[in-house]
């Protein structure tokens, strides 16, 4: 969330995909980090897609639709087969032709290097098998990422999936970041390291993450 807020404060463009928590929580967290969510949405620099709601109804939307508009973006089914249909036809054709309640500019997804943040792709594995998920990630999502000249930050929880799954995901990505909680001298520390970055030199040491009172994460030395 800190990366999302920092990108927006620097006039960047972010699509935040809320899998692990309700959209209201994501909005609250961004507000605490100094982001005017409504204004960023109206400017076309922020969209918050809601995948969390479908986790409460067996992975499908109660309306029976693949996607549907809501206040800050699009609400999704959690089937990767549905994702493929939506990506083939286009989000706008399916959902954004029925605008939500806010008067908004079109989401500015033409800016090179715009950011897509998925707070936990592991949620999708509750409703999809590993193989079809990986096929969607490799043949649909990552191809769309490169076509759109965007950067994806895709989070997965360690220990939930098979080891071969993690290896295939890492092979499909340009970089791998590890985030862990380590105990040292009886004290728990949040730490991060850049484990892999294809074709680039990088610092692979562990760095401590400081969490400020407003929830902002700051990387230490």
Is 218 a residue whose pLDDT tops 50?
Answer: yes
Q: Are residues 77 and 163 in the same domain?
A: yes
For 15-40, write each residue's pLDDT tens digit. Answer: 999 999 999 999 999 999 999 999 99
The helix or strand, by DSSP H or E, that contains position 151, with its residue range, turns out to be: strand 150-154
Q: Are residues 103 and 149 in the same domain?
A: yes
Q: What is the dihedral of CA 97, 114, 151, 88, to 10 degrees?
A: 20
Q: Are residues 194 and 144 in the same domain?
A: no
For 75-95, write each residue's pLDDT tens digit. Answer: 999 999 988 888 777 655 554
- Contact indicator for 158, 166 with CB cutoff of 8 Å: yes
Q: Are residues 68 and 83 in the same domain?
A: yes
Q: Are residues 29 and 127 in the same domain?
A: yes
Question: pTM of the entire structure?
Answer: 0.89
Q: Are residues 21 and 127 in the same domain?
A: yes
Q: Are residues 187 and 104 in the same domain?
A: no
Mean pLDDT of 119-142: 95
Q: Are residues 187 and 198 in the same domain?
A: yes
Cβ neighbours around 180 below 10 Å, total: 12
Q: Are residues 205 and 162 in the same domain?
A: no
Count of domains observed in the chain: 2
Q: Are residues 163 and 184 in the same domain?
A: no
What whole-number distance in Å separates Cα of residue 18 and Cα of residue 84? 19
Q: Are residues 169 and 188 in the same domain?
A: no
Q: Are residues 111 and 133 in the same domain?
A: yes
Mean pLDDT of 152-160: 96
- pLDDT averaged over every residue in the chain: 89
Which of 151, 173, 195 lies at the terminal end of a domain, its last residue? 173
For 157-212, write each residue's pLDDT tens digit. Answer: 999 999 999 999 999 999 999 999 988 888 889 999 999 999 889 999 999 999 89
Share of the chain above pLDDT 90, in %: 70
pLDDT, position 111: 75
Q: Which residues constitute the domain of residue 197?
A: 175-221
């Amino acid at each position: 969330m800190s990366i999302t807020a920092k990108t927006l404060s620097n006039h960047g463009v972010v699509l935040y995909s809320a899998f692990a928590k309700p959209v209201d929580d994501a909005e609250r967290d961004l507000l605490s980090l100094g982001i005017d969510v409504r204004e960023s949405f109206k400017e076309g620099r922020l969209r918050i897609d809601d995948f969390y709601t479908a986790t409460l109804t067996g992975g499908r939307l109660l309306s029976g639709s693949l996607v549907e508009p809501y206040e800050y973006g699009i609400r999704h089914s959690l089937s990767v087969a549905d994702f493929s249909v939506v990506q083939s036809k286009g989000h706008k054709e399916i959902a954004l032709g029925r605008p939500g309640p806010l008067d908004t500019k079109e989401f500015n997804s033409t800016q090179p290097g715009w950011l897509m943040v998925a707070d936990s792709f592991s949620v999708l594995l509750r409703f999809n098998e590993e193989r079809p998920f990986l096929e969607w990630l490799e043949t649909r999502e990552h191809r769309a990422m490169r076509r759109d000249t965007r950067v994806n930050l895709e989070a997965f929880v360690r220990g939930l999936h098979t080891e071969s799954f993690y290896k295939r995901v890492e092979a499909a990505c340009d970089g791998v970041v590890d985030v862990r909680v380590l105990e040292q001298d009886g004290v728990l520390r949040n730490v991060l390291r850049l484990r892999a970055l294809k074709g680039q030199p990088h610092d692979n040491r562990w760095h401590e993450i400081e969490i400020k009172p407003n929830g902002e994460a700051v990387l230490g030395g």
